[in-house]
């Protein structure tokens, strides 16, 4: 935070200028120019973008050591997940979100390429979308600008770029694409093949190649100088009456640069892709495959336009009219011009709102203190008799039958039955139970174990699992439903005929002749039931400590176990070790 003193008309105004720092966690956002001004990356963008000054100080970094001080962490699903389904096998690491820190899902690719993009288990941890999906994004971004085509941006260029007179244009269709198969492109390829049987299409890219570029347009490989490649594409397509602008998939709002390059070139785009493309381009400026029953019907229309230049020229009528509101709006959201600033402004708003609304006391009276929040530690219970006790305290609310217990655990080696955690005077016992040489979480209640339930997904020595045990009221008064969650996913659920008679705040971890041996992290106890989404989110976020019903919150990030809930219950322990840990993994496949 900086204090800036401004002297205006003799009045001293003290202005608080708060910067926003965004850590780009996976991959690089530089392809998009985020945080770079002026953005001059000819090899990719092909233009120099001088961005306007942002209303908040806005810093992007890829320095992961700044994780804890960053206001937001940006994850690009594309880089985060690797191509396709790789994230199911190579589970990505996800650090725990700090209090008042936000996770941004950034990207311009769809779930046909990157299935993680539509995974609820991924989105559970996301606070802000900055993607092509306009209605789902707090900060929507577009490619609706002259991306790569000119050295400076400007919406007027859509009208003012000269176009070759119809009579001098090549009387058929130009096409340039390199991807013939990926992300759904196989459908557009098949459609094109049908068209090519009936009309001439000059395919100058790698896909369906049948026509060579002139030598002066073919000096380098497409990706060697993408900016130049865009210029060539615009120039070459501009010679044709029509150009193919087929997205690789028909996803709502998935409108890439293709149709804009075509519009700028001065040929009429034949468009396949987003069902709502009309919201993205000037009215009457394109021909849509979806308006035709078949490739044949489309080709017949094109042949008609080739024979009737008056009808063809109607596709340029829009250049004489004001731009539609919606097109202007999309142009103003072009990622390359202001995406970074708009993301910062939005995060600044969220952080400020939170700062103004959150009750005081965080990090002083409760919550992880400043010197601990950056640490990543856990505890190890190395022996059967290792023991941690959160002391009973009659002045704080009791666990009275309905509750949620959350923790990460990684057993070292499992005994036949090892006691993991108990509430009160053993009224509730959670243990790890062996059955057919596999180990499961077992929940029992009643001092002599009247009722016991087993989780279905096994616990495996040497593997981190996040477990959640939720007890909530059943349909019949006085009964309850016990639900197990593993890695944030539903595991199994049981109905009880009564509810345990407990009214206690004391909790023991281990503390038995056959106690649990292994690692434990983030022990969190609420005295009410959390939803599955809340259990899932708890895996990768930190609590303030004063959330309603949060009774105990031990992150183990200090050298001594401390309860960071607002109750700050006293903790006693013996024979436990504090140790460093890495980030937990996002396991969308579950277990
Ligand atoms: C982000 O977008 C997805 C759809 O891709 C949506 O399901 C999710 O609710 C959005 N998240 C937020 C925080 O808006
Ligand atoms: C987006 O929201 C607007 C306003 O609610 C609505 O009119 C439009 O149909 C929505 N578009 C999509 C693609 O869902
Ligand atoms: C997209 O829509 C076109 C018709 O406009 C269709 O031929 C094509 O197969 C669709 N693509 C995909 C990936 O479904
Ligand atoms: C050519 O197109 C114009 C404008 O759409 C139309 O008025 C005219 O009838 C067409 N001529 C023929 C021969 O179809
Ligand atoms: C929000 O509060 C935190 C902690 O007090 C402070 O560091 C940060 O600068 C504040 N940010 C804004 C935008 O008010
Ligand atoms: C019980 O909890 C209260 C409130 O957190 C605290 O002030 C008090 O010291 C605790 N008493 C014991 C015996 O731990």
| Per-residue pLDDT reduced to its tens digit, 303-362 | 999 999 999 999 999 999 999 999 999 999 999 889 999 999 999 999 999 999 998 999
Q: How far is CA 468 from CA 33, 210, 524, 564, in A?
A: 41, 59, 9, 19
Mutate to test the pocket of ligand 3, among 187, 247, 287 (most ligand atoms within 8 A of CB): 187
Instruction: Verify that 291 and 164 share a domain, yes or no.
Output: yes
123 shares a domain with 56: yes
Q: Are residues 109 and 25 in the same domain?
A: yes
Answer whether residue 148 is part of any domain. Answer: no
82 shares its domain with 170 = no
The count of structural domains within the chain is 3
Is 13 a pocket residue for ligand 4 (Cβ < 6 Å)? no
Average pLDDT over the chain reads 90
Question: Domain for residue 86, yes or no?
Answer: yes
Residue 215 lies in a domain: yes
Whole-model pTM: value is: 0.92
- CB–CB of 78/26 below 8 Å? no
136 and 222: one domain?
no
479 vs 440: CA distance, rounded Å: 24
Q: Are residues 179 and 314 in the same domain?
A: yes
**Candidate from 284, 311, 313 with most ligand 4 atoms within 8 A of CB, to mutate:** 311
The stretches in the chain having pLDDT less than 70 are 1-17, 41-46, 147-153, 219, 222-227, 415, 447-450
- Show Cβ contacts of residue 552 under 8 Å, excluding neighbours closer than 6 positions: 390, 507, 523, 524, 525, 563, 565, 567, 569
The answer to whether residues 483 and 457 touch, using CB atoms and an 8 Å cutoff, is: no
Contact criterion met (CB below 8 Å) for 442 and 431: yes
* CA 443–ligand 1 middle distance (angstroms): 35
Short-list 520, 510, 517, 488, CA closest to 377: 520
Q: Are residues 449 and 545 in the same domain?
A: yes
Q: What is the pLDDT of residues 563-580, one digit of tens each?
A: 999 999 999 999 999 999
Q: Is the CB of 363 under 6 A from ligand 1?
A: no
| The pLDDT of residue 14 | 40
Could you please report the per-residue DSSP string of 304-360? Answer: HHHH-HHHHHGGGGGGGSPPPHHHHHHHTTBHHHHHHHHHHHHHHHHHHHHHHHSPT
The predicted pLDDT at position 550 comes to 97
| C-alpha of residue 293 to centroid of ligand 4, in Å | 22
State whether 215 and 239 are in the same domain: yes
Ligand 4 touching residue 307 (CB < 6 A): no
Answer yes or no: do 311 and 175 share one domain.
Answer: yes
Pairing status of strand 403-411 against strand 577-580: unpaired
Whole-angstrom Cα distance, residue 564 to residue 550? 10
Ligand nearest to the CA of 270: 3
In a domain, 364, yes or no: no
Range of the domain at 217: 157-322
223 and 197 together in one domain: yes
**Residue 149 within any structural domain of the chain:** no
Instruction: Please report whether residue 223 resides in a domain.
Output: yes
Q: Are residues 177 and 78 in the same domain?
A: no
For residue 529, the domain's CATH number is: 2.60.120.200
Q: Is 228 in the pocket of ligand 1 (CB under 6 A)?
A: no
Q: Whose CA is nearest to atom 6 of ligand 4?
A: 311
- CA pair distance 163, 418, nearest whole angstrom: 78
Proximal ligand: closest to the CA of 124: 1
Are 178 and 313 within one domain?
yes
| Nearest ligand to the CA atom of 279 | 2
What's the CATH number where 184 sits? 3.40.50.11660
Q: Write down the pLDDT at residue 154.
A: 83
Task: Answer yes or no: is 327 within a domain.
Answer: no
Q: Residue 356 CA: which ligand is closest?
A: 5
Q: How far is the CA of 419 from the centre of ligand 1 (A)?
A: 40
Residue ID of nearest Cα to ligand 4 atom 2: 311
591 occurs within a structural domain: no
């Amino acid at each position: 935070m900086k204090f800036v003193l401004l002297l205006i008309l003799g009045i001293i105004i003290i202005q608080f200028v708060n910067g926003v720092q965004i850590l780009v966690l996976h991959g690089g956002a530089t392809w998009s120019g985020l945080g770079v001004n002026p953005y001059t990356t000819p090899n990719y963008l092909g233009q120099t973008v001088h961005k306007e000054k942002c209303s908040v100080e806005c810093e992007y970094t890829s320095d992961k050591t700044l994780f804890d001080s960053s206001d937001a962490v940006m994850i690009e699903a594309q880089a985060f997940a690797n191509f396709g389904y790789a994230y199911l096998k190579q589970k990505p690491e996800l650090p725990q979100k700090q209090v008042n820190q936000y996770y941004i899902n950034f990207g311009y690719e769809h779930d046909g390429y990157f299935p993680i993009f539509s995974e609820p288990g991924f989105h559970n941890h996301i606070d802000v979308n900055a993607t092509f999906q306009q209605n789902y994004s707090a900060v929507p971004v577009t490619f609706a600008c002259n991306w790569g085509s000119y050295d400076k941006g400007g919406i007027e260029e859509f009208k003012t770029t000269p176009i070759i007179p119809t009579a001098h244009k090549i009387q058929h269709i130009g096409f340039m694409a390199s991807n013939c198969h990926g992300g759904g492109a196989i459908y557009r390829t098949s459609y094109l093949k049908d068209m090519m049987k009936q009309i001439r299409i000059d395919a100058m890219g790698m896909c369906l190649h049948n026509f060579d570029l002139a030598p002066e347009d073919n000096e380098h490989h497409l990706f060697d100088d993408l900016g130049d490649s865009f210029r060539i594409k615009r120039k070459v397509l501009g010679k044709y009456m029509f150009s193919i602008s087929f997205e690789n998939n028909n996803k709502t709002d998935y409108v890439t640069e293709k149709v804009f390059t075509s519009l700028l070139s001065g040929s009429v785009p034949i468009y396949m892709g987003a069902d709502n493309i009309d919201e993205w381009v000037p009215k009457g400026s394109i021909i849509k495959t979806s308006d035709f029953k078949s490739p044949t019907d489309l080709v017949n229309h094109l042949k008609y336009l080739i024979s009737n230049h008056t009808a063809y020229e109607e596709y340029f009528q829009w250049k004489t009219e004001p731009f539609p509101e919606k097109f202007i709006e999309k142009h103003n959201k072009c990622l390359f011009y202001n995406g970074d600033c708009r993301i910062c402004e939005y995060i600044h708003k969220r952080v400020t709102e939170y700062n103004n609304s959150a009750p005081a006391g965080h990090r002083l009276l409760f919550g992880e203190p400043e010197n601990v929040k950056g640490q990543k530690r856990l505890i190890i219970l190395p022996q059967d008799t290792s023991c941690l006790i959160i002391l009973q305290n009659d002045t704080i609310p009791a666990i009275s039958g309905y509750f949620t217990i959350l923790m990460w655990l990684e057993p070292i080696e499992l005994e036949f039955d090892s006691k993991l955690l108990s509430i009160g005077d053993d009224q509730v016992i959670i243990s790890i139970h062996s059955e057919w040489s596999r180990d499961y979480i077992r929940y029992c209640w009643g001092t002599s174990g009247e009722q016991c339930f087993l989780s279905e997904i096994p616990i495996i020595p040497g593997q981190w699992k996040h477990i959640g045990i939720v007890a909530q009221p059943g349909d019949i008064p006085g009964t309850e439903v016990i639900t197990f969650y593993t890695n944030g996913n539903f595991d199994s659920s049981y109905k009880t005929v009564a509810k345990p008679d407990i009214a206690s705040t004391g909790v023991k971890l281990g503390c038995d002749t056959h106690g649990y041996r292994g690692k434990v992290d983030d022990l969190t106890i609420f005295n009410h039931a959390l939803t599955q989404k809340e259990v899932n989110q708890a895996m990768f976020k930190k609590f303030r400590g004063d959330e309603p019903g949060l009774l105990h919150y031990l992150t183990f990030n200090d050298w001594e176990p401390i309860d960071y809930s607002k109750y700050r219950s006293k903790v006693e322990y013996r024979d436990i070790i504090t140790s460093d840990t890495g980030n937990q993994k996002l396991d969308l496949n579950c277990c």
